[in-house]
Amino acid sequence: MLDIMKPILGNRRPRVLLLLPTRTYRAHDFLTAARQLDVEVVIGSDRPQTLLGLSPLKSLSLDFRRVEHAAQLISSFASEYPIDAVVGVDDDTTILATMAAKDLSFPHNTIESIFATRDKHKLRKILVSAGLPAPWFKLLSITEDPEDIANEINFPCVLKPLSLSASRGVIRANNPEQFVDVFHRVVSIIQSSSKEVTHKDEVGQLLVEGFIQGMEVALEGILVQGTLKVLAIFDKPDPLEGPFFEETLYVTPSRLSSDIQKEIISCTAKAAEALGLQEGPIHAELRINDKGAWILEIAARSIGGLCSRTLRFGTGISLEELIIRHSIGGEVGLFERETHAAGVMMIPIPHAGIVREVKGKAEAAAVKGIEEVTITIPVGQKVIPLPEGNRYLGFCFARGATPDGVEAALRDAHHRMEFVIEQAI
């Protein structure tokens, strides 16, 4: 038990409600972190956790799309079985986690700030109002005729849904003809994902904005009473020029100059302040060019997928441990990322179909510097690549003395693997 909690709880262990969608990659790592901290866990999920053999005290069945109702269920549960924190692990749970934290008088972000991180149009408006660099942007209805709009657009541009994550539905258009085709494709993606959104406006609109040239980076941080604690800056060495924006490589520490890194940190901190974010993890995506740092997106949650496994702090503490520690009032400001370079390859899906075989996994794992190769989509399962899909075939992790060495190891490992994907009939 964390020492800070002992005067409050006596002999009771801290109890944390983890909001874990059944499709999340993050369950294992968060549950492992809770065990490391000797924290009792209640799982809130969109399906009953009967397979885990959990008692009613250990599990809550919640509809993440009906956030007000789910927040009421959490409050009712907490009135009988006190909890000390609510942690949302990904985009699907940030709004509910904030509502529940507010109802239970835990430190929390405002509901408005979370909605702004989940709505790309609101985010752009807030950043512009705060004087931060932003491309031109325009909100469109999915019922508009793209041919009427195409000749009024400056190119290149990017069309995107308002709330989908992991670059799903984000597509570049370079001319009016492409704009028409991309518009219809993005609308189709939005309509096919209508069951995943919490507000109907997200289904009826899309955003078009100017394409920002430059290198892309990511910042991982945690906010404590509005102050940004930077945990890592990741380089994304693969060019992300479109037409789709599938992320592959993340490598830290960044190889950018200290001045540019300071600008990345400053831009992220200003964006968080403008949004009104105060507490908890944040993950920001930025582009860097000769005009400075530009926020692409900022989310009130930690890095997605299994990518957090690249990060270790202090004497081997995981990112999930830091997040849980902060949620129950523990100190996080003194923990620094380990000195070794680290990185992850998010293995992209080359084309749609059914995974029939994975070749070369052992050879990839044997590459010097590779720590782990995890295939997350089993043989026999159907796969869909971006921009319609939102998953990866798996993750490959490396650690080493330098970022260049880590990047080389990840590329070598990926090159040694082959995924046999049979076209679905």
State the pLDDT at residue 51: 41
The type of residue at 215 is M
The tokens for 255 are: 């190889």
State the pLDDT at residue 196: 63
State the pLDDT at residue 10: 55
State the pLDDT at residue 89: 92
CA distance 320 to 28: 10
Residue 313, SS3 per DSSP:
strand
Mean pLDDT in order along the chain per 10 residues (425 residues)? 51 91 91 96 80 59 94 96 95 95 96 96 97 97 96 96 92 98 97 70 88 98 97 97 95 98 98 98 98 97 95 96 97 94 97 96 98 96 94 97 98 98 84
**Number of CB atoms found within 10 A of residue 339's CB:** 7
State the pLDDT at residue 194: 75
CA distance 171 to 183: 9
Q: Which residues contact 226 (CB under 8 A, 6 or more apart)?
A: 272, 273, 277, 278
The type of residue at 371 is E
State the pLDDT at residue 393: 97
The tokens for 197 are: 């959104």
For residue 291, which phi and psi values (nearest 5 degrees)? -100, 0
- Nearest Cα neighbor of 209 from 246, 162, 160 is 160
pLDDT, tens only, 143-201: 999 999 999 999 999 999 999 888 999 999 999 999 999 999 999 999 998 766 655 55
pLDDT, tens only, 392-411: 999 999 999 999 999 999 99
Residues of the chain with CATH 3.40.50.20: 3-114
Counting Cβ atoms within 10 Å, is residue 198 exposed (0-12), middle (13-18) or buried (19+)?
middle
Residues of the chain with CATH 3.30.1490.20: 136-210
The tokens for 12 are: 């009771």
CATH fold group of domain 3-114: Rossmann fold (3.40.50)
Q: Which CATH superfamily is domain 136-210 in?
A: ATP-grasp fold, A domain (3.30.1490.20)
Residue 246, SS3 per DSSP:
coil
Token match 């190769």: residue? 373
Q: State the CATH class of domain 341-425.
A: alpha beta
State the pLDDT at residue 425: 66
State the pLDDT at residue 102: 96
Q: End-to-end CA distance of the chain: give it in Å, rounded.
A: 54
Element at 77 (helix H, strand E): helix 67-80
State the pLDDT at residue 210: 98
State the pLDDT at residue 165: 86
- In this structure, are residues 304 and 283 in contact, taking their beta carbons and an 8 Å threshold? yes
Residues of the chain with CATH 3.30.470.20: 341-425
pTM of the model: 0.93
